[in-house]
Chains A and B, each alone.
Chain A
Amino acid sequence: MAELTPIERVKRFFNREPIDKMPFFTGMGMVLLPAIKKLGYNFPSVHRNAEKMARSAIESARMFNLDSVVIPYDMCMESEALGNEISLYEDSEDILYPTIPYKSWQEVDQVEITQDDIDNVMDKYPMNLLPEAIKIVKTEAPDLPVGAWQLGPFTQCGQTIELDKVLKAVFKQTDLVESILDKFSDMIINIGKALQAAGADFITLREPGVAADLLSPKTFKELIQPRLTRILAAWEPPKVLHICGSTDPLVEMMWQCVVDSGGQGVSFDIKNNLLETRKKLGNAAIILGNFDVFQLPCAEATTVEQAVEGIKTNIDGLVDAVWPGCDLWPDIKEENLKAIEKTAREYKTGPTPAVGRL
Protein backbone atom coordinates (compact mmCIF):
# COMPACT_ATOMS: atom_id res chain seq x y z
CA MET A 1 0.00 0.00 0.00
CA ALA A 2 1.53 3.28 -1.11
CA GLU A 3 1.82 6.04 1.43
CA LEU A 4 -1.11 8.41 1.57
CA THR A 5 -0.55 12.07 0.86
CA PRO A 6 -1.28 14.35 3.82
CA ILE A 7 -4.55 15.49 2.28
CA GLU A 8 -5.69 11.91 1.70
CA ARG A 9 -4.62 10.94 5.19
CA VAL A 10 -6.47 13.79 6.86
CA LYS A 11 -9.62 13.38 4.80
CA ARG A 12 -9.78 9.67 5.49
CA PHE A 13 -8.99 10.32 9.13
CA PHE A 14 -12.00 12.58 9.59
CA ASN A 15 -14.18 10.05 7.76
CA ARG A 16 -12.87 7.45 10.20
CA GLU A 17 -11.57 5.35 7.32
CA PRO A 18 -8.36 3.36 7.87
CA ILE A 19 -5.17 5.32 7.25
CA ASP A 20 -1.51 4.43 6.83
CA LYS A 21 -0.03 6.02 9.94
CA MET A 22 -0.56 8.40 12.81
CA PRO A 23 -1.42 11.86 11.50
CA PHE A 24 0.61 14.75 12.86
CA PHE A 25 -1.28 17.93 12.19
CA THR A 26 -3.25 20.79 13.66
CA GLY A 27 -6.21 23.03 12.97
CA MET A 28 -4.93 25.86 15.15
CA GLY A 29 -2.24 28.46 14.60
CA MET A 30 0.90 26.99 13.10
CA VAL A 31 3.48 29.41 11.80
CA LEU A 32 7.00 28.53 12.76
CA LEU A 33 10.00 30.78 13.12
CA PRO A 34 12.52 28.59 11.28
CA ALA A 35 10.22 28.68 8.25
CA ILE A 36 9.73 32.42 8.47
CA LYS A 37 13.47 32.94 8.70
CA LYS A 38 14.21 30.62 5.82
CA LEU A 39 11.91 32.72 3.66
CA GLY A 40 13.60 35.90 4.85
CA TYR A 41 10.48 37.30 6.49
CA ASN A 42 10.06 38.63 10.00
CA PHE A 43 7.27 37.66 12.37
CA PRO A 44 5.15 40.83 12.29
CA SER A 45 5.17 40.91 8.48
CA VAL A 46 3.46 37.55 7.92
CA HIS A 47 0.23 38.60 9.60
CA ARG A 48 -1.19 41.09 7.14
CA ASN A 49 0.07 39.91 3.77
CA ALA A 50 -1.71 37.03 1.99
CA GLU A 51 1.31 35.95 0.01
CA LYS A 52 3.66 35.87 3.01
CA MET A 53 0.99 34.21 5.12
CA ALA A 54 0.50 31.46 2.56
CA ARG A 55 4.18 30.86 1.92
CA SER A 56 5.18 30.82 5.58
CA ALA A 57 2.29 28.48 6.36
CA ILE A 58 3.34 26.04 3.65
CA GLU A 59 6.99 26.23 4.61
CA SER A 60 6.14 25.61 8.29
CA ALA A 61 4.34 22.40 7.34
CA ARG A 62 6.98 21.24 4.85
CA MET A 63 9.94 21.84 7.14
CA PHE A 64 8.53 19.67 9.87
CA ASN A 65 6.53 17.24 7.80
CA LEU A 66 3.20 18.29 9.25
CA ASP A 67 0.01 17.00 7.67
CA SER A 68 -1.70 20.37 7.43
CA VAL A 69 -1.32 24.03 6.64
CA VAL A 70 -3.19 26.43 8.90
CA ILE A 71 -4.72 29.78 7.96
CA PRO A 72 -5.34 32.20 9.75
CA TYR A 73 -2.62 32.96 12.29
CA ASP A 74 -3.98 35.41 14.80
CA MET A 75 -7.12 36.24 16.71
CA CYS A 76 -7.35 39.94 16.04
CA MET A 77 -8.43 39.99 12.41
CA GLU A 78 -12.17 40.05 12.99
CA SER A 79 -11.86 42.72 15.64
CA GLU A 80 -9.74 44.77 13.27
CA ALA A 81 -12.34 44.36 10.51
CA LEU A 82 -14.90 45.71 12.98
CA GLY A 83 -12.84 48.87 13.35
CA ASN A 84 -10.34 48.25 16.14
CA GLU A 85 -6.70 49.13 15.75
CA ILE A 86 -4.25 46.40 16.47
CA SER A 87 -0.69 46.33 17.58
CA LEU A 88 1.70 44.22 15.49
CA TYR A 89 4.83 44.99 17.54
CA GLU A 90 6.81 45.76 14.44
CA ASP A 91 9.77 47.03 16.45
CA SER A 92 10.04 44.16 18.88
CA GLU A 93 12.61 41.43 18.50
CA ASP A 94 10.52 39.05 20.56
CA ILE A 95 7.73 37.05 19.05
CA LEU A 96 4.57 38.81 19.98
CA TYR A 97 1.26 37.95 18.43
CA PRO A 98 -0.89 40.90 17.41
CA THR A 99 -3.06 42.31 20.19
CA ILE A 100 -5.81 44.89 20.46
CA PRO A 101 -4.53 47.64 22.73
CA TYR A 102 -7.76 49.56 22.94
CA LYS A 103 -11.26 48.47 22.10
CA SER A 104 -13.63 51.01 20.61
CA TRP A 105 -16.60 49.49 22.41
CA GLN A 106 -15.98 49.94 26.12
CA GLU A 107 -19.31 48.74 27.42
CA VAL A 108 -21.57 45.94 26.36
CA ASP A 109 -24.31 48.48 25.60
CA GLN A 110 -22.13 50.11 22.97
CA VAL A 111 -21.74 47.03 20.84
CA GLU A 112 -23.14 47.61 17.42
CA ILE A 113 -22.77 44.81 14.94
CA THR A 114 -24.69 45.72 11.84
CA GLN A 115 -26.16 43.40 9.26
CA ASP A 116 -23.53 44.76 6.91
CA ASP A 117 -20.80 43.63 9.32
CA ILE A 118 -22.34 40.19 9.37
CA ASP A 119 -22.98 39.86 5.64
CA ASN A 120 -19.92 41.58 4.26
CA VAL A 121 -17.25 40.93 6.84
CA MET A 122 -15.13 39.07 4.30
CA ASP A 123 -14.88 42.17 2.11
CA LYS A 124 -13.28 44.12 4.92
CA TYR A 125 -9.57 44.32 5.60
CA PRO A 126 -7.86 42.18 6.85
CA MET A 127 -10.47 39.42 6.47
CA ASN A 128 -10.20 39.69 2.70
CA LEU A 129 -6.62 38.41 2.91
CA LEU A 130 -7.68 35.00 4.17
CA PRO A 131 -9.42 33.49 1.11
CA GLU A 132 -6.57 34.85 -0.96
CA ALA A 133 -4.00 33.12 1.25
CA ILE A 134 -5.96 29.86 1.23
CA LYS A 135 -6.14 29.92 -2.57
CA ILE A 136 -2.39 30.38 -2.83
CA VAL A 137 -1.86 27.38 -0.56
CA LYS A 138 -4.28 25.27 -2.57
CA THR A 139 -2.40 26.00 -5.78
CA GLU A 140 1.11 25.71 -4.43
CA ALA A 141 0.65 22.80 -2.07
CA PRO A 142 -2.27 20.73 -3.34
CA ASP A 143 -1.08 17.71 -1.36
CA LEU A 144 -1.52 19.49 1.98
CA PRO A 145 -4.95 19.97 3.54
CA VAL A 146 -5.76 23.47 4.74
CA GLY A 147 -7.12 23.81 8.24
CA ALA A 148 -9.05 26.98 8.96
CA TRP A 149 -10.35 28.11 12.32
CA GLN A 150 -12.65 30.61 13.92
CA LEU A 151 -13.01 31.77 17.49
CA GLY A 152 -16.34 31.00 19.10
CA PRO A 153 -18.79 33.82 19.76
CA PHE A 154 -17.97 34.29 23.43
CA THR A 155 -14.22 34.51 22.94
CA GLN A 156 -14.71 36.70 19.87
CA CYS A 157 -16.91 38.96 21.94
CA GLY A 158 -13.97 39.29 24.34
CA GLN A 159 -11.84 40.48 21.41
CA THR A 160 -14.14 43.43 20.81
CA ILE A 161 -15.19 44.31 24.36
CA GLU A 162 -13.10 43.58 27.44
CA LEU A 163 -13.69 40.01 28.50
CA ASP A 164 -14.31 40.94 32.13
CA LYS A 165 -17.17 43.17 31.04
CA VAL A 166 -18.66 40.35 29.00
CA LEU A 167 -18.30 37.92 31.87
CA LYS A 168 -20.19 40.21 34.22
CA ALA A 169 -22.82 41.03 31.64
CA VAL A 170 -23.62 37.33 31.36
CA PHE A 171 -25.40 37.80 34.67
CA LYS A 172 -26.28 41.46 34.67
CA GLN A 173 -27.48 41.89 31.08
CA THR A 174 -28.25 38.37 29.99
CA ASP A 175 -30.62 39.27 27.15
CA LEU A 176 -28.21 41.75 25.67
CA VAL A 177 -25.34 39.27 25.86
CA GLU A 178 -27.47 36.62 24.18
CA SER A 179 -28.29 38.92 21.30
CA ILE A 180 -24.64 39.96 20.87
CA LEU A 181 -23.57 36.33 20.90
CA ASP A 182 -26.15 35.59 18.22
CA LYS A 183 -24.81 38.33 15.99
CA PHE A 184 -21.26 37.14 16.45
CA SER A 185 -22.44 33.61 15.71
CA ASP A 186 -23.96 34.79 12.41
CA MET A 187 -20.72 36.53 11.53
CA ILE A 188 -18.59 33.51 12.46
CA ILE A 189 -20.81 31.25 10.37
CA ASN A 190 -20.30 33.49 7.35
CA ILE A 191 -16.55 33.66 7.84
CA GLY A 192 -16.28 29.89 8.18
CA LYS A 193 -18.34 29.37 5.04
CA ALA A 194 -16.12 31.80 3.12
CA LEU A 195 -12.96 30.03 4.29
CA GLN A 196 -14.43 26.70 3.25
CA ALA A 197 -15.49 28.14 -0.10
CA ALA A 198 -11.93 29.35 -0.63
CA GLY A 199 -10.70 25.79 -0.19
CA ALA A 200 -10.24 25.03 3.52
CA ASP A 201 -10.38 21.26 3.96
CA PHE A 202 -11.38 21.20 7.62
CA ILE A 203 -12.34 23.75 10.21
CA THR A 204 -11.90 24.17 13.96
CA LEU A 205 -14.15 26.19 16.21
CA ARG A 206 -12.15 27.42 19.21
CA GLU A 207 -13.85 28.78 22.27
CA PRO A 208 -11.21 29.14 25.02
CA GLY A 209 -13.06 31.92 26.84
CA VAL A 210 -15.68 29.52 28.18
CA ALA A 211 -13.46 26.98 29.95
CA ALA A 212 -14.63 25.86 33.34
CA ASP A 213 -12.01 28.04 35.01
CA LEU A 214 -13.96 31.04 33.77
CA LEU A 215 -17.60 30.10 33.30
CA SER A 216 -19.64 27.53 35.14
CA PRO A 217 -20.65 24.35 33.31
CA LYS A 218 -24.24 25.47 33.84
CA THR A 219 -23.63 28.69 31.94
CA PHE A 220 -21.85 26.71 29.26
CA LYS A 221 -24.88 24.51 28.81
CA GLU A 222 -27.40 27.34 28.71
CA LEU A 223 -25.56 30.08 26.90
CA ILE A 224 -22.73 28.57 24.91
CA GLN A 225 -23.60 25.04 23.83
CA PRO A 226 -26.60 25.95 21.64
CA ARG A 227 -24.57 28.58 19.82
CA LEU A 228 -21.54 26.40 19.23
CA THR A 229 -23.87 23.73 17.87
CA ARG A 230 -25.56 26.18 15.54
CA ILE A 231 -22.27 27.48 14.16
CA LEU A 232 -20.79 24.03 13.60
CA ALA A 233 -24.01 22.83 11.99
CA ALA A 234 -23.85 25.62 9.43
CA TRP A 235 -20.40 24.57 8.21
CA GLU A 236 -19.37 21.66 6.04
CA PRO A 237 -17.56 18.76 7.69
CA PRO A 238 -14.92 17.92 8.74
CA LYS A 239 -15.16 20.12 11.82
CA VAL A 240 -13.59 20.10 15.25
CA LEU A 241 -14.50 21.83 18.50
CA HIS A 242 -11.61 23.00 20.69
CA ILE A 243 -11.63 24.51 24.17
CA CYS A 244 -8.49 25.48 26.14
CA GLY A 245 -8.22 25.42 29.89
CA SER A 246 -10.25 23.40 32.33
CA THR A 247 -12.48 21.16 30.21
CA ASP A 248 -13.01 18.01 32.26
CA PRO A 249 -16.48 19.13 33.39
CA LEU A 250 -17.39 20.08 29.78
CA VAL A 251 -16.31 17.12 27.67
CA GLU A 252 -19.72 15.48 27.35
CA MET A 253 -21.38 18.76 26.41
CA MET A 254 -18.62 19.49 23.92
CA TRP A 255 -19.03 16.11 22.30
CA GLN A 256 -22.77 16.62 22.20
CA CYS A 257 -22.20 19.84 20.21
CA VAL A 258 -20.12 17.85 17.75
CA VAL A 259 -22.64 15.03 17.42
CA ASP A 260 -25.62 17.37 17.08
CA SER A 261 -23.91 19.37 14.37
CA GLY A 262 -22.56 16.52 12.27
CA GLY A 263 -18.99 17.24 13.38
CA GLN A 264 -16.02 14.92 13.74
CA GLY A 265 -13.76 15.70 16.66
CA VAL A 266 -13.07 17.40 19.95
CA SER A 267 -9.79 18.96 21.01
CA PHE A 268 -8.39 19.97 24.39
CA ASP A 269 -5.26 21.42 25.92
CA ILE A 270 -3.01 19.93 28.58
CA LYS A 271 -5.44 20.55 31.41
CA ASN A 272 -7.71 17.76 30.17
CA ASN A 273 -7.55 14.29 31.66
CA LEU A 274 -7.53 12.40 28.37
CA LEU A 275 -7.99 8.88 29.62
CA GLU A 276 -11.04 9.91 31.63
CA THR A 277 -12.36 11.78 28.62
CA ARG A 278 -11.97 8.71 26.42
CA LYS A 279 -13.92 6.70 28.98
CA LYS A 280 -16.69 9.27 28.99
CA LEU A 281 -16.92 9.73 25.21
CA GLY A 282 -16.19 6.22 23.97
CA ASN A 283 -14.24 5.06 20.97
CA ALA A 284 -16.41 6.72 18.34
CA ALA A 285 -15.14 10.17 19.32
CA ILE A 286 -12.13 11.57 17.51
CA ILE A 287 -10.13 13.06 20.39
CA LEU A 288 -7.31 15.47 19.71
CA GLY A 289 -4.88 17.76 21.46
CA ASN A 290 -3.48 17.81 24.97
CA PHE A 291 0.11 18.10 23.80
CA ASP A 292 2.00 20.86 25.51
CA VAL A 293 2.76 23.41 22.82
CA PHE A 294 5.43 25.15 24.79
CA GLN A 295 7.20 22.66 27.03
CA LEU A 296 7.74 19.95 24.43
CA PRO A 297 8.74 21.77 21.27
CA CYS A 298 10.03 25.11 22.61
CA ALA A 299 11.30 25.22 26.16
CA GLU A 300 15.02 25.73 26.28
CA ALA A 301 15.40 23.17 29.04
CA THR A 302 13.48 20.41 27.24
CA THR A 303 15.80 17.84 25.68
CA VAL A 304 14.95 15.83 22.58
CA GLU A 305 14.52 12.76 24.79
CA GLN A 306 12.05 14.57 27.02
CA ALA A 307 10.11 15.81 24.02
CA VAL A 308 9.92 12.26 22.69
CA GLU A 309 8.72 10.98 26.07
CA GLY A 310 6.11 13.73 26.19
CA ILE A 311 4.69 12.72 22.84
CA LYS A 312 4.62 9.08 23.84
CA THR A 313 2.57 10.06 26.89
CA ASN A 314 0.28 12.06 24.64
CA ILE A 315 -0.23 9.04 22.35
CA ASP A 316 -0.70 6.74 25.34
CA GLY A 317 -3.52 9.07 26.33
CA LEU A 318 -5.39 7.55 23.37
CA VAL A 319 -5.53 10.53 21.06
CA ASP A 320 -6.44 9.74 17.47
CA ALA A 321 -3.81 12.04 16.01
CA VAL A 322 -0.90 14.02 17.35
CA TRP A 323 -2.34 17.51 17.34
CA PRO A 324 -1.05 20.39 19.51
CA GLY A 325 -3.26 21.52 22.38
CA CYS A 326 -3.24 25.11 21.16
CA ASP A 327 -1.41 27.29 18.62
CA LEU A 328 2.05 25.86 18.13
CA TRP A 329 4.38 28.46 19.55
CA PRO A 330 6.48 29.83 16.64
CA ASP A 331 9.86 29.80 18.34
CA ILE A 332 10.34 26.04 18.37
CA LYS A 333 13.54 24.10 18.79
CA GLU A 334 13.95 22.42 15.44
CA GLU A 335 15.45 19.22 16.78
CA ASN A 336 12.61 18.80 19.27
CA LEU A 337 9.84 19.28 16.76
CA LYS A 338 11.52 16.94 14.29
CA ALA A 339 11.82 14.28 16.99
CA ILE A 340 8.20 14.83 17.94
CA GLU A 341 7.11 14.25 14.35
CA LYS A 342 9.20 11.11 14.06
CA THR A 343 7.87 9.72 17.33
CA ALA A 344 4.32 10.52 16.35
CA ARG A 345 4.66 8.44 13.20
CA GLU A 346 6.61 5.53 14.64
CA TYR A 347 5.63 5.04 18.27
CA LYS A 348 2.39 3.16 17.73
CA THR A 349 1.49 1.83 14.34
CA GLY A 350 -1.80 0.16 15.20
CA PRO A 351 -5.28 1.71 15.08
CA THR A 352 -6.33 4.41 17.53
CA PRO A 353 -9.70 4.20 19.27
CA ALA A 354 -11.62 6.01 16.55
CA VAL A 355 -9.54 5.42 13.42
CA GLY A 356 -8.26 2.16 11.90
CA ARG A 357 -5.11 1.39 9.95
CA LEU A 358 -4.72 0.18 6.40
Chain B
Amino acid sequence: MATKEELLELLKDGVINYKEEQVKEAAQTAVDDGHPALEMIMDGLAAGMEVVGDLYERHEYFVPEVLMCADALYLGLDILRPHVPKSDSGAVAQVVIGSIQGDVHDIGKNLVKMMFDVAGWEVHDLGRDVPLENFVKEQLRTDAEVVAMSAMMTTTMLGMKKVIQMIKEKNPNVAIMLGGAPVTQDVANLFGADGYAESAGNAVQEGIKMIGRLREYEKKKAD
Protein backbone atom coordinates (compact mmCIF):
# COMPACT_ATOMS: atom_id res chain seq x y z
CA MET B 1 0.00 0.00 0.00
CA ALA B 2 1.31 3.44 -0.90
CA THR B 3 2.07 5.77 1.97
CA LYS B 4 0.68 9.28 2.13
CA GLU B 5 4.08 10.70 1.18
CA GLU B 6 4.27 8.42 -1.84
CA LEU B 7 0.82 9.44 -2.98
CA LEU B 8 1.63 13.12 -2.59
CA GLU B 9 4.73 12.59 -4.67
CA LEU B 10 2.77 10.73 -7.35
CA LEU B 11 0.24 13.55 -7.55
CA LYS B 12 2.90 16.22 -7.68
CA ASP B 13 4.98 14.40 -10.28
CA GLY B 14 1.89 13.56 -12.30
CA VAL B 15 0.95 17.23 -12.54
CA ILE B 16 4.48 18.35 -13.39
CA ASN B 17 4.93 15.73 -16.08
CA TYR B 18 1.30 15.77 -17.22
CA LYS B 19 0.73 12.09 -16.47
CA GLU B 20 -3.04 12.00 -16.36
CA GLU B 21 -3.42 8.31 -15.50
CA GLN B 22 -0.93 8.54 -12.67
CA VAL B 23 -2.79 11.48 -11.15
CA LYS B 24 -6.15 9.74 -11.46
CA GLU B 25 -4.89 6.55 -9.86
CA ALA B 26 -3.07 8.29 -7.03
CA ALA B 27 -6.09 10.47 -6.27
CA GLN B 28 -8.40 7.45 -6.24
CA THR B 29 -6.03 5.51 -4.00
CA ALA B 30 -5.82 8.47 -1.63
CA VAL B 31 -9.61 8.56 -1.40
CA ASP B 32 -9.91 4.78 -0.97
CA ASP B 33 -7.25 4.74 1.74
CA GLY B 34 -8.89 7.61 3.56
CA HIS B 35 -6.11 10.18 3.29
CA PRO B 36 -7.21 13.79 3.90
CA ALA B 37 -8.33 15.12 0.52
CA LEU B 38 -7.46 18.72 1.20
CA GLU B 39 -3.88 17.82 2.02
CA MET B 40 -3.66 15.75 -1.16
CA ILE B 41 -4.85 18.73 -3.15
CA MET B 42 -2.63 21.31 -1.52
CA ASP B 43 0.59 19.35 -0.98
CA GLY B 44 0.22 17.13 -4.02
CA LEU B 45 -1.62 18.76 -6.92
CA ALA B 46 -1.05 22.40 -5.99
CA ALA B 47 2.57 21.77 -5.08
CA GLY B 48 3.05 20.28 -8.53
CA MET B 49 1.44 23.28 -10.17
CA GLU B 50 3.79 25.56 -8.27
CA VAL B 51 6.74 23.80 -9.87
CA VAL B 52 5.02 24.09 -13.26
CA GLY B 53 4.71 27.83 -12.68
CA ASP B 54 8.46 28.04 -12.07
CA LEU B 55 9.23 26.03 -15.18
CA TYR B 56 7.03 28.40 -17.17
CA GLU B 57 8.72 31.48 -15.76
CA ARG B 58 12.09 30.00 -16.65
CA HIS B 59 10.92 29.31 -20.22
CA GLU B 60 11.42 25.60 -19.83
CA TYR B 61 7.72 25.06 -20.21
CA PHE B 62 5.52 26.94 -22.65
CA VAL B 63 1.76 27.31 -22.72
CA PRO B 64 1.01 23.83 -24.18
CA GLU B 65 2.87 22.12 -21.35
CA VAL B 66 1.12 24.26 -18.75
CA LEU B 67 -2.26 23.42 -20.27
CA MET B 68 -1.47 19.71 -20.20
CA CYS B 69 -0.40 19.97 -16.56
CA ALA B 70 -3.70 21.73 -15.88
CA ASP B 71 -5.62 18.85 -17.45
CA ALA B 72 -3.83 16.37 -15.21
CA LEU B 73 -4.48 18.57 -12.20
CA TYR B 74 -8.21 18.81 -12.90
CA LEU B 75 -8.51 15.03 -13.18
CA GLY B 76 -7.11 14.75 -9.66
CA LEU B 77 -9.19 17.63 -8.39
CA ASP B 78 -12.42 16.08 -9.69
CA ILE B 79 -11.74 12.96 -7.67
CA LEU B 80 -10.48 14.61 -4.48
CA ARG B 81 -12.69 17.70 -4.19
CA PRO B 82 -15.94 15.87 -3.21
CA HIS B 83 -14.06 14.39 -0.26
CA VAL B 84 -12.97 17.67 1.27
CA PRO B 85 -15.13 18.05 4.39
CA LYS B 86 -17.28 21.20 4.30
CA SER B 87 -15.68 22.47 7.50
CA ASP B 88 -12.21 22.35 5.92
CA SER B 89 -13.28 24.50 3.05
CA GLY B 90 -15.25 26.83 5.29
CA ALA B 91 -12.87 29.74 4.94
CA VAL B 92 -12.84 29.59 1.21
CA ALA B 93 -14.71 32.14 -0.82
CA GLN B 94 -16.48 32.47 -4.13
CA VAL B 95 -15.19 34.17 -7.24
CA VAL B 96 -16.92 35.22 -10.44
CA ILE B 97 -14.45 35.20 -13.32
CA GLY B 98 -14.53 35.96 -17.03
CA SER B 99 -12.89 37.63 -20.01
CA ILE B 100 -14.48 40.95 -20.77
CA GLN B 101 -16.83 41.69 -23.66
CA GLY B 102 -15.13 41.81 -27.03
CA ASP B 103 -12.23 39.78 -25.79
CA VAL B 104 -11.97 36.13 -26.72
CA HIS B 105 -8.52 35.70 -25.20
CA ASP B 106 -9.10 33.21 -22.42
CA ILE B 107 -6.01 31.09 -21.99
CA GLY B 108 -4.64 33.33 -19.24
CA LYS B 109 -8.06 33.62 -17.62
CA ASN B 110 -8.38 29.84 -17.53
CA LEU B 111 -5.05 29.52 -15.75
CA VAL B 112 -6.18 32.02 -13.14
CA LYS B 113 -9.43 30.12 -12.76
CA MET B 114 -7.46 26.94 -12.18
CA MET B 115 -5.53 28.55 -9.33
CA PHE B 116 -8.80 29.47 -7.61
CA ASP B 117 -10.10 25.95 -8.20
CA VAL B 118 -7.01 24.46 -6.65
CA ALA B 119 -7.24 26.74 -3.68
CA GLY B 120 -10.74 25.39 -3.06
CA TRP B 121 -12.72 28.47 -4.04
CA GLU B 122 -16.12 28.13 -5.60
CA VAL B 123 -15.57 29.44 -9.10
CA HIS B 124 -18.31 30.84 -11.32
CA ASP B 125 -16.75 31.01 -14.75
CA LEU B 126 -18.64 33.18 -17.21
CA GLY B 127 -16.29 32.28 -20.04
CA ARG B 128 -15.11 34.92 -22.45
CA ASP B 129 -16.55 37.81 -24.41
CA VAL B 130 -18.78 38.32 -21.38
CA PRO B 131 -21.33 41.15 -21.70
CA LEU B 132 -20.52 43.75 -19.06
CA GLU B 133 -23.80 43.45 -17.17
CA ASN B 134 -23.39 39.69 -16.78
CA PHE B 135 -20.59 40.22 -14.28
CA VAL B 136 -22.97 42.31 -12.20
CA LYS B 137 -25.83 39.82 -12.49
CA GLU B 138 -23.67 36.84 -11.61
CA GLN B 139 -22.18 38.59 -8.60
CA LEU B 140 -25.65 39.45 -7.31
CA ARG B 141 -26.90 35.93 -7.96
CA THR B 142 -24.04 34.21 -6.16
CA ASP B 143 -23.08 36.88 -3.65
CA ALA B 144 -19.45 36.13 -4.52
CA GLU B 145 -16.82 38.01 -2.53
CA VAL B 146 -14.54 38.47 -5.52
CA VAL B 147 -15.08 39.35 -9.17
CA ALA B 148 -12.04 38.71 -11.37
CA MET B 149 -11.90 40.10 -14.88
CA SER B 150 -9.41 39.45 -17.62
CA ALA B 151 -8.67 41.65 -20.63
CA MET B 152 -5.96 41.05 -23.19
CA MET B 153 -6.56 44.08 -25.34
CA THR B 154 -6.01 47.69 -24.44
CA THR B 155 -9.38 48.45 -25.95
CA THR B 156 -11.50 45.83 -24.25
CA MET B 157 -9.75 46.69 -21.01
CA LEU B 158 -11.81 49.89 -20.91
CA GLY B 159 -14.96 47.82 -20.39
CA MET B 160 -13.64 46.74 -17.00
CA LYS B 161 -13.92 50.27 -15.70
CA LYS B 162 -17.62 50.26 -16.54
CA VAL B 163 -18.17 46.93 -14.79
CA ILE B 164 -16.43 48.18 -11.67
CA GLN B 165 -18.72 51.20 -11.55
CA MET B 166 -21.82 49.06 -12.10
CA ILE B 167 -20.87 46.55 -9.42
CA LYS B 168 -19.79 49.11 -6.85
CA GLU B 169 -23.06 50.96 -7.32
CA LYS B 170 -25.10 47.89 -6.53
CA ASN B 171 -22.78 46.31 -4.01
CA PRO B 172 -19.76 48.15 -2.61
CA ASN B 173 -18.69 45.09 -0.61
CA VAL B 174 -17.32 43.17 -3.54
CA ALA B 175 -13.61 42.96 -4.14
CA ILE B 176 -12.77 43.36 -7.79
CA MET B 177 -9.58 42.03 -9.26
CA LEU B 178 -8.17 42.72 -12.70
CA GLY B 179 -5.57 41.01 -14.83
CA GLY B 180 -4.36 40.37 -18.35
CA ALA B 181 -1.41 41.58 -20.37
CA PRO B 182 -2.31 45.27 -20.85
CA VAL B 183 -3.47 45.69 -17.25
CA THR B 184 -1.03 47.09 -14.71
CA GLN B 185 -1.28 48.04 -11.06
CA ASP B 186 -1.72 51.66 -12.18
CA VAL B 187 -4.56 50.77 -14.50
CA ALA B 188 -6.23 48.77 -11.75
CA ASN B 189 -5.96 51.72 -9.37
CA LEU B 190 -7.20 54.13 -11.99
CA PHE B 191 -10.24 51.99 -12.74
CA GLY B 192 -11.06 51.71 -9.04
CA ALA B 193 -10.32 47.99 -8.70
CA ASP B 194 -9.39 46.47 -5.37
CA GLY B 195 -6.68 44.19 -6.62
CA TYR B 196 -4.43 43.21 -9.46
CA ALA B 197 -2.16 40.27 -10.13
CA GLU B 198 0.39 40.00 -12.85
CA SER B 199 0.19 36.26 -13.20
CA ALA B 200 -2.01 33.34 -12.31
CA GLY B 201 0.48 32.40 -9.60
CA ASN B 202 -0.36 35.29 -7.31
CA ALA B 203 -4.02 35.76 -8.20
CA VAL B 204 -5.36 33.71 -5.30
CA GLN B 205 -3.08 35.39 -2.76
CA GLU B 206 -4.28 38.74 -4.01
CA GLY B 207 -7.88 37.57 -3.74
CA ILE B 208 -7.43 36.56 -0.12
CA LYS B 209 -5.70 39.83 0.68
CA MET B 210 -8.53 41.78 -0.88
CA ILE B 211 -11.17 39.98 1.11
CA GLY B 212 -9.13 40.58 4.26
CA ARG B 213 -8.99 44.29 3.53
CA LEU B 214 -12.72 44.42 2.88
CA ARG B 215 -13.52 42.62 6.12
CA GLU B 216 -11.33 45.00 8.08
CA TYR B 217 -13.04 47.92 6.46
CA GLU B 218 -16.46 46.47 7.27
CA LYS B 219 -15.45 45.94 10.88
CA LYS B 220 -14.22 49.51 11.21
CA LYS B 221 -17.43 50.78 9.73
CA ALA B 222 -19.46 48.70 12.20
CA ASP B 223 -17.43 49.91 15.23
Contact = CB atoms under 8 A, between A and B. Distances in A.
Contact of A163 (B62, B71, B107, B155): B107
A99 B104 contact: yes
* Chief secondary structure at chain B's binding surface: helix
B155 A329 contact: yes
A125 interface: no
Contact of B102 (A94, A163, A170): A94
Contacts of A128: none
Interface in A204-262: 212-216, 219
A335 B202 CA distance: 40
A96 B64 CA distance: 28
Task: Among B71, B110, B129, find the residue whose CB has the most chain A CB atoms closer than 10 A.
Answer: B129
B65 interface: yes
Contacts of B59: 212, 216
Contact of A213 (B63, B71, B159): B63
Interface residues of A, number: 29
Given A168-B64, A215-B64, A295 B102 contact: no
A194 to B, nearest CB: 27
B181 to A, nearest CB: 9
A168 B102 contact: no
Interface string B135-161: 000000000000000000011000100
Interface residues of B, number: 18
A294 interface: yes
A14 interface: no
A299 B154 contact: yes
A212 B60 CA distance: 11
B67 interface: yes
Interface string B41-74: 0000000000000000001001111011001000
Interface string A99-115: 11100000000000000
Contact of B62 (A87, A101, A219): A219
Contacts of A163: 107
B108 to A, nearest CB: 10
Contacts of A295: 154
Given A94-B102, A213-B63, A168 B154 contact: no
B64 to A, nearest CB: 4
A96 B101 contact: yes
A168 B71 contact: yes
Interface in A292-310: 294-295, 298-299
Contacts of A172: 68
Contacts of A294: 154-155
24 contacts: A89-B102, A92-B102, A94-B102, A94-B159, A95-B155, A96-B101, A99-B102, A99-B129, A164-B67, A164-B106, A164-B107, A167-B67, A168-B64, A168-B68, A168-B71, A171-B64, A171-B68, A213-B63, A214-B63, A219-B62, A294-B155, A298-B154, A299-B154, A329-B154
Given A99-B129, A215-B62, 7 more contacts: A87-B129, A164-B67, A164-B106, A167-B63, A294-B154, A298-B154, A329-B155
